[in-house]
Structure 1
């Protein structure tokens, strides 16, 4: 394989640049040229390609976001768009493609592999909602960002003796709320995988007040409810002074943690190794600390479940 393409698609995540760097440098080490495709599948359809050299990826391992930029593409969902994408790859002599992104990006990569393009996927998403991998690139950084925010909010919650509701990302997966909630000592964690009853939540908070607790932190994944609605309901039912913070896109930014840099680097190098061996239609993941590759079809049709034992632990520790 003499020419490899790389693109980032969907929502950005810290560590994507580290993955791009690994793909570029591993490809060049193996004697292949690298073509960067800007703005994901939309950029692929539009032929937005740039050559990437060793120097092109210098000093990016510590940067959040993606130097290739990213976008969502309605055009790529059509047969015409997909055929155009394949044509652009052929015209540019790109024999193999590394796609870095989440579930939707994987589905697109699966289509390209079925159309004859050698394609490998890397899990780039803060939500940690991809099957066949314990961790996705960017998840660890997002969790640490939330922990830092919760620690700061707890200071003012303690000072003013208030209940704080903090909404974090996670429309369909509650891993960010779950992991950050346990690590930050949140009194209550709400995730879409384990719907909670608001009255029982209030009863739990009331027990805390009765034993002398002056403040509470409620961490809620956006898929489990809107922070402002939950905060308003608690205040109306109890009369407690309640404040709401929505962390939003701050969770996607920032310099990636050491864990995410290492994970992205290992996965990027493995993606190139797989292409060099003639593999296609596979997604790289990590399970039990070991990198493994699974077929796209298996990954996109398998529902990744939250670790509810961690949810039970959170309940136990917050009595």
Structure 2
């Protein structure tokens, strides 16, 4: 969708879906980039639910001060089934028109993108900014929050390995990743895990069991197994391992600590670049686009095209992790 170039007077920003570290940095970038170019900036609270309710406030420069280093989202987030309907979307558009907004930046994941696409199709230009710890948005190599979550998990793995070594045990670490295994793969490779289970690749329980037993025979005293939640739960997989090997394991389910914490420098920079780029596209009269970064270059694509693409799982890295864990 293309609208009149340089006709943006008011731009809104909202966060939707699961929170991720760096969302605040992206909000800050959208607000300050807009104000820098003489455009009024507005924050929409509580995602699409807040949009329908008209929970929208004008932001000044100071409104986004002291947030670049904070995790979560100052705009808060909420999932909203009603916004999936035409009626719900019309409610949102009515609120946007009531406030006189000309464009909207939506920061979130796949579900958030669907909302942005629907608004654009009904005549209101939106730009999607990828923010999810799962790193599962096509059209970009990295999503906002992934690097922070990766380092949070890696820190936990390092600590668990200390205990695994001390007590000569096998530990199973369950990480987030219902449909995408990037957190498991990257943290497992960086943390030296002996086994990594991801939704994108089948696994052979007999092979895993034999490698554990083989390691014990050669004197290996401990192992780390990373399991993405989309494959199995940590406790369930522990039962399967015990049934095959008679080896007792300890399970750590990291849960929502993976979403929290101060964003890394990488995520702060990524969020700042993508948030500002989204404003630039709106200023150019473009809507229905999704921004990203590929080979350190800012890119944008039709949001529908992005949603139709499969997640780009790096099978070569998965193969490498198996080769290095012998």
Matches within 5 A, 1:165-314: 165-314=172-321
Bigger CA drift: 131-140 or 208-217?
208-217
Q: Deviations over 1:124-178 (max 9, x none)?
A: 1000000010000000000000000000000111111111000000000000000
TM-score by length of 2: 0.97
In the alignment, is residue 94 of structure 1 matched against residue 101 of structure 2? yes
Residues 172 and 223 in structure 1, CA contact (< 8 A), matched pair in contact too: yes
SS where residue 300 of structure 1 aligns?
helix
CA contact (8 A) 2:209 2:241 kept: yes
Gap regions ≥5 residues in structure 1: none
Matched, 1:109 2:116: yes
Contact 2:23–2:271 (Cα < 8 Å) also in 1: yes
**Number of equivalenced pairs:** 319
Q: Report SS of the residue matched to 1:224.
A: coil
Kindly indicate whether residue 73 of structure 2 is the aligned counterpart of residue 66 of structure 1.
yes
Aligned partners of 1:201 and 1:305: how far apart in 2?
25
Question: Is contact 1:195–1:224 with CA below 8 Å preserved after alignment?
Answer: no
Which 4+ runs in 1 deviate beyond 2 A? none
Contact 1:120 1:284 survives alignment (8 Å) = yes
Q: Report the counterpart of residue 32 of structure 1 in structure 2.
A: 39
Are the aligned partners of 1:133 and 1:287 in contact in 2 as well (CA < 8 Å)?
yes
Question: Which secondary structure state, in structure 2, belongs to the residue aligned with residue 214 of structure 1?
Answer: coil
2:47–2:78 CA contact under 8 A, matched in 1: yes
Partners in 2 of 1:158 and 1:236 — Cα distance? Answer: 23
| Paired residues of 1:281 and 1:296 also in contact (CA < 8 A) | yes
Offset of 1:197 from its aligned partner? 1.5
Aligned partner of 2:130 in structure 1 is 123
Question: Are residue 3 (structure 1) and residue 10 (structure 2) matched?
Answer: yes
Cα distance, 1:236 vs structure 2 = 2.7
What runs of 5+ residues in structure 2 fail to find an aligned partner? 1-7
Shift of 1:237: 2.4
SS at match of 1:120: strand
